[in-house]
Amino acid sequence: MSNSRDERLALAALLEETGPEAATLCTGWLTGDLAAHLVLRERRPDAAAGVMGGPIAPYTARVQRHYLRKYTFDELVALFRNGPPRLSPFALPGADEQANTVEYFVHHEDVRRAQPDWQPRAIIDGLSDALWRRVKGAKFFLRKSPVGVELARDDGDNRTGPYRVTVKNATPTVTVIGTPAELTMWAMGRTSAAHVRFDGTGEAVAALKAWRS
């Protein structure tokens, strides 16, 4: 089973467990809103482009509200668990793993870490490696950082291969250190819930934290 499929099933199970009115780390969203977003993203590519904001964001919000009215929470979770419809771009071979591994991991943690009694979970090596391979995508989210940003992998083992990635090339530079899972959460804006540490001048670190808060 793929990483994206594993995270899809785990997220669907967690949504069922929490119900539609649990908190998430997504500002303004409860778990019901998140379930509608997940279904919209796979089934309405015309609206999904507005998820990141921009001129069609109001349209995306309307479609998401439509899903909340049309389906019960349990139906939304079932649609998400069953995967994209046959004609969805996400149904193309390899698309789910490539496009959804980070998406579903982050949203899984969005629900887990918003609960008052959450505990860190063990991340299997395959998922950690997949998240690390995709960490370069943080360049988009960190392109406006006031300082240079380097991400450094530290998960307590002796892995070979690159363990640092520059995602914003500028001076001064701050190195953000953590496991691939925590670096992913930090890079995706979940800064208050990400367990990372920083290496750099005090002024540069303060500037990055202030910008990313």
Left if phi > 0, otherwise alpha if psi is -120 to 50, otherwise beta: which for 177?
A: beta
What pTM did the predictor assign?
0.92
Give the model confidence (pLDDT) of 87-101 as tens digits.
888 888 888 899 899
Q: What are the extents of the domains in the chain?
A: 3-112, 125-212
Q: Would you state the structure tokens that stand for residue 94, as one six-digit string?
A: 């390899």
Q: Which CATH number fits domain 125-212: 2.40.128, 3.30.1050, 3.10.20, 3.30.1360?
A: 3.30.1050
Distance CA 152, CA 204 (A): 17
Is there a contact between 170 and 147 (Cβ–Cβ < 8 Å)? yes
At residue 162, the pLDDT reads 66
Is there a contact between 140 and 168 (Cβ–Cβ < 8 Å)? no
More confident: 9 or 94: 9
β-pairing, 148-153 vs 197-199, is unpaired
CA angle 190, 52, 102 (to 5 degrees): 50
Give the model confidence (pLDDT) of 28-55 as tens digits.
999 999 999 999 999 988 877 777 777 8
